[in-house]
Structure 1
Amino acid sequence: MITLLKEVGRGKRGARDLTYEESLRAAEEILSLRATPAQIGAFFIAERIKMESVEELEAFVDVCRQSAYRLPSQEGIDCAGPYDGRKKSFYATFACSFVLAAAGLPVTLHGTASLPPKWGITLHDLLGQIGIQPDSLEREDWIRASKETGVLYVPAEEWCPPLKALRPIREELGMRTVLNTAEKLIDYSHSPYLVFGVYHNTVFDRLSRLMTKLNYRKSLIVQGTEGSEDLFIDRPTRTYIVENGIATLHVVNPETLGLDTPIPETVWTAASQISVTEEVLRGEADMAFMHQVLLNAAYRLHHADRAGSVEEALYICKALLESGDAWNTYTKWRSLLAR
C-alpha cells in the first residue's frame, strides 16, 4: 500500500494514475481494511487531489461488487443518486420509482444514512418517515417486497459490509472520496439500464467511458438537481446517453414537452419530502412536482426501452398516476416493509 501511495501522493504534478491492476490492489487493501486508517485516508485525499482515472474507478467498483450481495438480473433500471442526500430539492426519483414499477419496469434504489460532504436528507430518512427502518430489516424482506411490487431498496452498508466498515474514516475526512462514485455503481440487481447523477459536466467524458467498461446496456448520466439523477423541471438538464460504447450529449428541455414549471419555495425535511411524494402519487401535488415526476418517469421508461418515444412514455405515466396504480404500488410496498 505504501508503494501505491507514493505513486498517487506526489502532488498535483508528480502524481500518476494507477493501472487497473495497481488500482485493484489498492481497492482490495482498502475495502478489506488491511490498509491502516492513515493509509486509507491518505489514499482518498491523494486521489481527490489528483482526480480518479477511469481505471481506478473501475477497480473500486469491481471490488465493491465482489464484496456485495447481488441479485440475479431483474431486467430493470438502477437509479443511482448521491448517498450524501438532498438539502434543497424534491426527491422526484422516489415517487418516480413507483410509477415505473406500476408500468412493469423493475426499479432498484439504494443508499445509506447521510454521508459527507453534503450531509443531506437521504432515502434512509424518507423510509424512516413511513415506518420503514432500513437497517433493521432482513435482506429477504426487501427481496420479497421487490418481487411483489417491482421496487427494490438496498441499504448499501448492509449488502456491502466494507462500506459500513469505512464509514468512520469517511466521516472524519468529511469530503468526497472515490467511494462516493463507486458505491453508486455496485448494481445490486444486475440492472441492464442505469440512470446516474453527477454534479459537474466535467466528469461526463470520464464517466461515460466507465459506464462502457461496466457493461450496462444503456446508461443515462444526468447533471441533475443537487448532483442527483433527477432532471430539472424549471430549466434544461444536460445528460449523456451511453450505448454501445458511444456517448451522446442530450439536453432535456421540459419546455419542449409543455412541462416547464417554476418550483415553489419549500423547506425540505424528510417529513415534507414524504408529504409531497404521497401527494404526487395521489395526483394532488403542486403541478411543479407532478410534472417533475412525470418528466423523470417518462425519460426513464423510454431509456429502458419500454416506450417508443418520450411522448408515449409520458402518456403511460400520466395514466398510471390518474388511475391510482402508482399510488397502489407505493402503499403495497410500504405495507410490506413498515413495522
Structure 2
Amino acid sequence: MAMHMADILEQLAFHKDLPQDMANESFARLMDGTMTPAQAGSFLMGLKTKGETAEELAAAVNAALSHARMVPGLSGKRIDTCGTGGDGSSSFNCSTAVALTLAGMGYQVVKHGNRSVSSTCGSADALEALGLNLNLQPGDVAAELARRNFVFLFAPGYHPAFKHIMPVRQEIGCRTLFNLLGPLLNPARPTHQLLGIAIPGFLHRMAKVLSLTGVQKACVVHGAGGFDELTPFGVNQVVYVRDGWLREDVLDPARLGMAASSPEDMAVKDKDEAVAVLREILAGGGPEPMRDMVALNAGMCVHLLEDDLSLADGVDKAREALASGAGEKTLNA
C-alpha cells in the first residue's frame, strides 16, 4: 500500500522517528522528483527539527546512490578524505593536500567533492587550479586511479537527481541533512574514510551511517576550534568505525609532538593564496602549522589503511612523505 505524504509529515510533526520502510519510501520520492516542492521543504524541515537519526540518514544515502552514476571496476583498498564543510574557518585546503600526499605514498584515493559553498576555495576549485580534470566520466575512473593513485569525482557530475532538490535547498536557506550527505555519497564507494564534521552533535550519528552503508574502516572527526578536520592546536573528538563497531576517543596532537599553533595559522585570505600554499605544501614546503595539520590527517588515514601501524607511526610516515614532496609526484604522474 502506498504511503501518503501527509502520514509521513504527521509522523515528523510529532517528533517521531520514521520507521525504515517510511524513510526509504520518502527519500525515494524526494530523489526521483515525485515530492512537490512544498512537501520536500516540509519533509526536510520536519526531519531537522526532530533530529535526523542514523537510520534516516542511511536511507537518504541509499536513495541518493540508487540515482547516482556509480563508478565501475574498482577493487582493493581506497580512501576518501572529505569533510562536510560549513566550519566557516577560511582554512587552507587540508583534505586536498592530504589526498594528494596519500596518493604519492602509494595509496588509492577516491576524493569526492564540490566547489566552495562556505570556504575560501573548495576542493574542486583548488584541484582545477592545479590542472586536474574535473569532468572524469565513471568509466574512466579505474584507469585514472591506476595511473595516478588519485581521482577526483566532481559531485554534480555524479548526482543528477540533485537537480530536484537544489531549488528546495536554496529556498529553505538553512542547514538540512543535505549539508551532511556529501561525504557519504562517494560513487566510488571507498572502503576506508576520514570524515570531518563541523557539528559535534552529529559525530556519532555520521559514524553509525558509515557503518550502516558499508565502509570497512573509518574515523569521523571534529577538530579543536570547530574544524571539520583534525587540527594540531587542541584536543579533537573522534569516533572510529570498524566492521560495524564504533569507538569514541579523543586525540591530543601535543602527545604526537606537534608544536603549539592556532586557527589563524591555517587561514588563507583568497583562492590565489589557497592554491599557492597548497602547491608549497605538496612540494615539501609551506608553513609548519599547516604541514602539521596535513601530517595529522594523513597520518590518521595511514593508521586506518595499515592495520599494524599506530597513529604515531602513521603521522611519522606522513611527515616523511610530505618532506619528500609526495603530493607533487601525484600531480606530475
What TM-score does the superposition give when structure 2 sets the normalisation length? 0.88
Match for residue 88 of structure 1 among 84, 87, 90: 90
2:211 corresponds in structure 1 to 212
What is the CA distance between 1:311 and its match in structure 2?
A: 2.8
Deviation at residue 317 of structure 1 after TM alignment: 2.1
2:303 alignment partner in structure 1: 302
How far 1:292 sits from its partner (Å)? Answer: 1.1
Q: What's the counterpart of residue 61 of structure 1?
A: 61
Q: State whether residues 80 and 229 of structure 1, in contact with CA within 8 Å, keep that contact through their aligned partners in structure 2.
A: no
Taking every aligned residue pair, what percent have the same amino acid on both sides?
A: 23
Matched, 1:2 2:6: yes
Letter in 2 for 1:18: L
Match of 2:200 in 1: 201
The answer to whether the 8 Å contact 1:224/1:237 transfers is: yes
State the match for 1:331 in structure 2.
332
2:226 & 2:169 partners in 1: Cα distance?
19
1:240–1:257 distance in 2 versus 1, CA, 3 Å: same
Quote the Cα distance in structure 2 between the aligned partners of 1:102 and 1:52. 38
Match runs of 1:57-206 below 5 Å: 57-71=57-71, 72-82=74-84, 87-115=89-117, 118=118, 121-132=121-132, 134=134, 136=135, 138-140=137-139, 143-206=142-205
Distance 1:215 1:270, change over 3 A: same
Shift of 1:204: 2.8
Q: Distance between the aligned counterparts of 2:28 and 2:220, measured in 1?
A: 27
What corresponds to 1:336 in structure 2? Answer: none
Distance in 1 (alpha carbons) for counterparts of 2:172 and 2:296: 37
Cα separation, partners in 2 of 1:267 and 1:102, compared to 1, 3 Å: closer
Matches of 2:187 and 2:39, distance apart in 1: 28
CA deviation after TM superposition for structure 1 residue 295, in Å: 1.3
Q: For the residues of structure 1 that align with 2:35 and 2:129, how far apart are their CA atoms?
A: 38
Displacement of 1:87: 4.3
SS in 1 for 2:240: strand
Residue matched to 2:34? 34
Give the conservation status (yes or no) of the 8 Å contact 1:121–1:269. yes
Are the counterparts in 2 of residues 280 and 290 from structure 1 also a CA contact under 8 Å?
Answer: yes
Give the Å deviation of 1:266.
3.8
State the shift of 1:220 in Å. Answer: 0.3
Q: 1:120 to 1:40 in 2, by over 3 A?
A: farther
Cα distance change on mapping 1:246 and 1:76 into 2, 3 Å: same
Inter-CA distance 267–325: structure 2 relative to 1 (3 Å threshold): closer
Native 8 Å contact 2:266 2:289 kept in 1 = no
CA distance in 1, matches of 2:87, 2:145: 23
Q: 2:90 & 2:266 partners in 1: Cα distance? A: 9
- CA distance, structure 1, for counterparts of residue 125 and residue 87 of structure 2: 9
Q: How far off its partner does 1:120 sit?
A: 5.6
Contact 2:221 2:238 in 1 (8 A): yes
Q: Does 1:49 align with 2:49?
A: yes
- Alpha-carbon distance change, 113 to 167 in structure 1, aligned in 2, over 3 angstroms: farther
Instruction: Quote the offset at 1:269 in angstroms.
Output: 1.9
Offset, 1:144? 4.0
Change (3 A) 1:131 1:150: closer
Q: Is the 8 A contact 2:184 2:210 kept in 1?
A: no
Q: Secondary structure at the match of 1:80?
A: coil
Per-residue deviation, 1:182: 2.7
Structure 1 residues 227, 171: closer, same or farther in 2, change over 3 A?
farther
Superposed displacement of residue 250, structure 1:
1.9
TM-score by length of 1: 0.87
Q: How large is the RMSD of aligned CA atoms in angstroms?
A: 2.4
Please, which moves more after superposition, 183-192 or 257-266?
257-266
Q: Describe the SS at the equivalent of 2:220.
A: strand
Q: For residues 225 and 109 of structure 1, what CA distance do their matches in structure 2 show? A: 24
CA contact (8 A) 2:80 2:192 kept: yes
Contact 1:93 1:229 in 2 (8 A): no
- Would the aligned equivalents of 1:112 and 1:122 in 2 still touch at CA under 8 Å? yes
Preserved CA contact (<8 Å) 2:92 2:268: no
Deviations 1:267-324 (A, max 9, x none): 4322211111111111221111111111111111011126512232233223323333
CA 1:2–1:43: 2 relative to 1, 3 Å:
same
In 2, Cα distance between equivalents of 1:265 and 1:305:
28
Structure 1, unaligned runs of 5 or more: 333-339
In 2, Cα distance between equivalents of 1:266 and 1:53 = 33
User: Which letter does structure 2 place at the counterpart of 1:168?
Assistant: P
Amino acid at match of 1:214: T
The count of residues paired between Structure 1 and Structure 2 equals 325
